[in-house]
Structure 1
Amino acid sequence: MRGRTAFSQQNHPDSLSDLAEFGSNPGALRARLYAPEDLPRGAALVVVLHGCTQTAAGYDHSAGWSRLAAEEGFAVLFPEQQRANNANLCFNWFVPEDVTRDRGEALSIRRMIEAMVTKHGLDRERIFITGLSAGGAMAAAMLATYPDVFAGGAIIAGLAYGSASTIPEAFDRMRGHGGPTKSELQRRLAQASSHKGRWPKISIWQGTADRTVAPSNADALVAQWQGVHRVDAGHGRTETVDGQTRQVWCDADGNEVIEKYTIAGMGHGTPLNTVGPDGLGHAAPFMLDVGISSTRRMAAFWNLAGADARSEATVDATATHATAAAALRTYVAPERPRPARVEPVEQPEADGSRASATGVGKVIEDALRAAGLMR
């Protein structure tokens, strides 16, 4: 694993603009965006959700999404959490009010997407979403509650939809303790909306040395999505991509629907490759230069980037897969009042890659440790 480069989320260029008008905002989120000057009509949209303690601009600078959007000709939407909602800037991924269709933060993000599609004339069948940690868990919630909106998604160090609904449960699940059974996770995903069409294709990323979100959560995500895609664990293939393990599952039509990248020795964060001719982004806390660009690989999985982005794969076994596309629906839902919340926040890595939790978040964490619910 490559060494990390310290890089403050506050000391970075901001390439993003504000999306000022997108209707009512029950989740009280900020909307930021990047659209290339020559963005064509019918371009794709990628929605990017930052992790705890991060900002939209900081995550974009490190992950390189706006740069890739300029190269490939798509738009990027960056919902941003506000401290009034969550002291640690985490999306409230485990709060039922915020991860239910047409409510809370989920509805705010949905309305931002509709505003972007309308304003820029984007392709409703090429909308994708990704996120890290709490943002990854919120991306999983958006994919579960609005499968009709997204053609694909990517979850980095995240958790399965419906795996927790309280703070103690959230900490337990992050550490790989307890949680719903495979069949119950599949039931919760299937019942999160009334969707009857094709489901989004899913990319899952996890480090083996992650001490914040246990690697078993990636397995739970795979198991959850195998249900709606009607594939099982035994019908996949394994290959090596940029020195890392990629597992792939497919449906009866032979098209890829689920992929899982396991990054050997990586802690909690987004995998980057910042060097060489295809280098993208900048290393920072929780943005880890490990020699593989999750940003480029996700875009290739969604057919947003050139095929050469996955040309170095070494195949170990074969299987069949399916394409995902979804139609976007417009809707109106009532705005609901919302109190401020605090969400479980990542613990420091051994190298001190983030500041310790403060304020209300620290009080909650201390209480959970005293109760034996958190180490």
Structure 2
Amino acid sequence: MTGHLGIAPTRSLGQSIDRPRALTRRFGNAAGSRAYDLFVPSGYEGAPLPLVVMLHGCSQSSRDFAIGTGMDRLAEEQGFLVAYPDQPRSANIAKSWNWFRDKDQNRDEGEPSILAGLTREIMSEFNVDPARVYVAGLSSGGAAAAVMAMTYPDIYAAVGIHSGLASGSAGSMSVAFSTMRRGASLRPQQATHPVPTIVFHGDRDTTVSPVNGDQAIAQAQPDGELNITTVEGRSDGGMAYTRTILTEPDGMWSSEQWVLHGGGHAWAGGHPAGSHTDPIGPDASREMLRFFMTHAKDGGAY
């Protein structure tokens, strides 16, 4: 088998010592290579399963992100595969995905090509339901997930963006810092093929301004009239939130925006053993899974 850009992918098939259901692997192509963990639920016997690709935030690792989000537990409970790509310091000293560099925001280039390539590799080696492949991330990982939705809408049926930014919000590191503080100076490009999107963002996030969550959900919206429903709620831990549900009149597309009142730059409802988590928030992992599993691709390609 060859990599997406024509050279043989490299990979490891070992098991993680402390997560026996997680395989340690590596994918490479002409743009570079990334290690990743792949969690396989114990009930896997070859039947088609959904796949969720999880992109960690700055300073995190794939293992840390798995622990903090609790996505392995949900995968075991609900029966799906989870991939956790790992950004090395050799690619970014802070282990941030390079969502702000031009070459890492285009189809068949840079990090998007690597992430799409490892997604396709998993789909080819396991019995993945091609209509139920999803991508989600936190902070820089959320911004990278938005990039994947823009560049590979033919692969991903839905996207989750937690404390992230819209695709195309910046074109350099200096602009990235400004965008994180104040949002993109120009409205990010509207998606040509809008992918259903669920956004979580704390309204007291001082690392990535909440306006970026507004811009991310706006980018994902199709043209035309939308039905809008707003629900006020409170998590079991006591955090208030506003959930806005956007739906096309024909029901073909929907998205959700969760504004976490008092929330900072952290994965809502996450486990405190992981970094950048807020255990009192609503369970972002479970809500993303609920949203994902209501969306499947129709089999069309762009």
Please classify the TM superposition score into its range, dividing by the shorter chain length.
Answer: 0.7 to 0.9
The counterpart of 2:264, out of the listed 261, 264, 267, is: 267
Shift of 1:256: 5.5
Output the CA distance in 1 between the equivalents of 2:228 and 2:159: 19
Counterpart of 2:249 in structure 1 is: 252
1:227-284 alpha-carbon deviations (Å, 9 max, x no partner)? x36445xx311013434210010012135611000111011011016xxxxxxx4454
Which runs of 4 or more aligned residues in structure 1 lie more than 6 Å from their structure 2 counterparts after TM superposition?
Answer: none
- Name the structure 2 match of 1:289: 279
Q: Which has the larger radius of gyration?
A: 1
Residues 223-242 of structure 1 aligned to structure 2 (within 5 Å): 223-226=218-221, 228=222, 230-231=224-225, 235-241=227-233, 242=235
Cα distance change on mapping 1:92 and 1:23 into 2, 3 Å: closer
Letter of the 2:214 partner, please give it: D
Equivalent residue in structure 2 for 1:48, among 48, 54, 58:
54
In the TM superposition, what is the alpha-carbon distance from 1:110 to its structure 2 partner? 0.7
The TM-score, its normalising length taken from structure 2, stands at 0.86
RMSD: 2.2
| 247-256 vs 48-57, which moves further | 247-256
- Greater CA drift, 26-35 or 79-88: 26-35
Identity %: 31
TM-score (norm 1): 0.70
Contact 2:107/2:113 (8 A) holds in 1: yes
Q: 2: distance between equivalents of 1:107 and 1:329? A: 17
* C-alpha spacing 1:231/1:107, structure 2 compared with 1 (3 Å): farther
Q: Which runs of 5+ in 2 are unaligned?
A: 1-16
**Aligned to 1:160, what secondary structure does the other structure show?**
coil
2:288 pairs with 298, 313, 321, which one?
298
SS of residue paired to 2:103: helix
- Cα deviation 1:259-317 (Å, max 9, x = unaligned): 000111011011016xxxxxxx445431111241100001011227xxxxxxxxxxxxx
Could you tell me how far 1:38 is from its partner in structure 2? 2.1
Change (3 A) 1:25 1:78: farther
Structure with higher strand content: 2
Q: How many residues align?
A: 279
Task: Report the Cα offset of residue 168 of structure 1.
Answer: 1.4
Match of 2:35 among 30, 51, 70: 30
- Give the number of the structure with larger relative contact order, counting CA–CA contacts within 8 Å between residues 6 or more apart: 1
Q: 1:90 aligns with which of 96, 103, 109?
A: 96
Letter in 2 for 1:251: E
Cα 1:97/1:160, change in 2 over 3 Å: same
The aligned counterpart of 2:197 is 202
* Corresponding position: 1:67 with 2:73: yes
Alpha carbons 1:229, 1:257 under 8 Å: kept? no
* Contact 1:94-1:166 within 8 A present in 2 as well: yes
Distance 1:238 1:256 in 2: 17
Q: CA deviation at 1:179?
A: 1.7
Letter in 1 for 2:197: I
Distance in 1 between residues matched to 2:256 and 2:155, nearest whole Å? 20
